[in-house]
Structure 1
Amino acid sequence: MSVPPLTKHDGDGNRYTRPEAVEAQIASVSDLQCDEIARRCAISTRSDPEYLRSECLIHLLRKTRGDNSDGRFDRLFPLVLRRFLHALPRSERTQGEVVLVDGRLSDVNDLARSRFLTLMTIDRQGGDRLDFYEVHFDEAVALLRLTARTRVGRRAARETPMELDQETNEPTVEVERAAGSLQKDDDAFLSDPGFRSRVLAAIDSLPREQREVMTMLMNNFQIQSNDRDVPSISRITGCDARTVQNRRTRAIAEIRRMIGLGAEG
């Protein structure tokens, strides 16, 4: 099977070309069903023969621009977004009984993620903005982060200490209140750095429909938007806002159960 060439050119006027290994994998997986693609996306060991290259995943997503009748974009989009997020460095680390959050790195990641979502939205209309992601995905992400880091600039205090309870090794009640995790809203804990790793692990174990909704919510997607240029969960999943909200409610309840917060209230 012939893989369509890229169209974007570099600064020297040379057209971008994918590595042979990328082109070979694209040719071998182009007709796979979404369930099989999702299964292979879960393989994180790059030496595994079934590991799906990020460049290939980007190509499969972009391929849906001309044929989205089977909803492949809806299935592939969360997989691409998750792969991008895993390529970003973590902004928090544990030092003894304290969780240190690198505020500047967190801002850089947020800006890079926002820009990537914008690029994907624009790319849906056509063009070559994501061509380099089919050539060297990791390098493209690194360049995006470099641009974001330049924009964020310097901060006086890069890390904010978070006190943990000595017995439970969880954020103290005072810290949780300050972070909003003890607010009445059922999803306030999602923005708490102390829960981040467990929340992400819980989301990965949710049923597909709930996982997709939560992945997009964690990346500040609106449930519904009247602006056709603004990507919304409802539009991407092909569901009405009520269905999306119901999936969110069930997902939040399950995440709370898995990380030990219990029912709301």
Structure 2
Amino acid sequence: MPREKIVAALKIRDRSSPHYLKSECIVYLIRETRANNDERYFDELFRELMRRIDASLPRVVGERANGSENVHAAAARDHITGKFIGNLVEDRSSPGSWLDYYEVMFADAIAGLRTTYMYRARRDSARNEPIAADDETNEPSLAVERAVGSFDIKKELLSEDPIYRSRLIAAIRNLPDKHRRVIELTMTEMPIDSSDDSVMTIRKMIGVKSEKTVRNRRDEAHRMLREALSIGDHND
């Protein structure tokens, strides 16, 4: 289709229309703009894509509403939007696989982010609670364990140092299979576990019974990556 017809089709909201452009199509088209400098065309695609993402995000009820779920929704909206834009910028500067899932199953990809970031918003809120031990095991609570020792691999992969990025990629590839698998799934934004049986989780994907097993493998993988990259003190 000529670009002017594509831009016109972006205005069609009726999904039953034969001229309606599916979101997967828009992701494909916006990725293809890497090869040209037509800023107006890119802006039209980007504006419509962000409108559709916005329509899929958790609702914030009223500008002055301050209930906990409303605060969580607002935080999740900001993170999801930033996440997608970051992936888009990365894809335009260095084409990779970050947007592949959006191009195949857009709604499912956004739904996965929505589940993940609502979970994280609630988790981050829990970090403000007093540190406590589990009543039965006397071990640190799950909320506390989740709040420490994080290593944002996807952020590290955006480092401006190409040598560091190459070392990190090589370190991930050299992880033992069971640790590498957890890291790879974590990078897809898949939740570790969920009380909703319909949600696919890392625990289910790797076939273990306990969420703690997943977290232990993740933390051990982070330790091995830090050691490989000479980050921090590894004797703690």
Q: What is the TM-score normalised by the length of structure 2? A: 0.46
Report the TM-score when normalising by structure 1.
0.41
Structure of greater relative contact order (alpha carbons < 8 Å, 6+ residues apart): 1
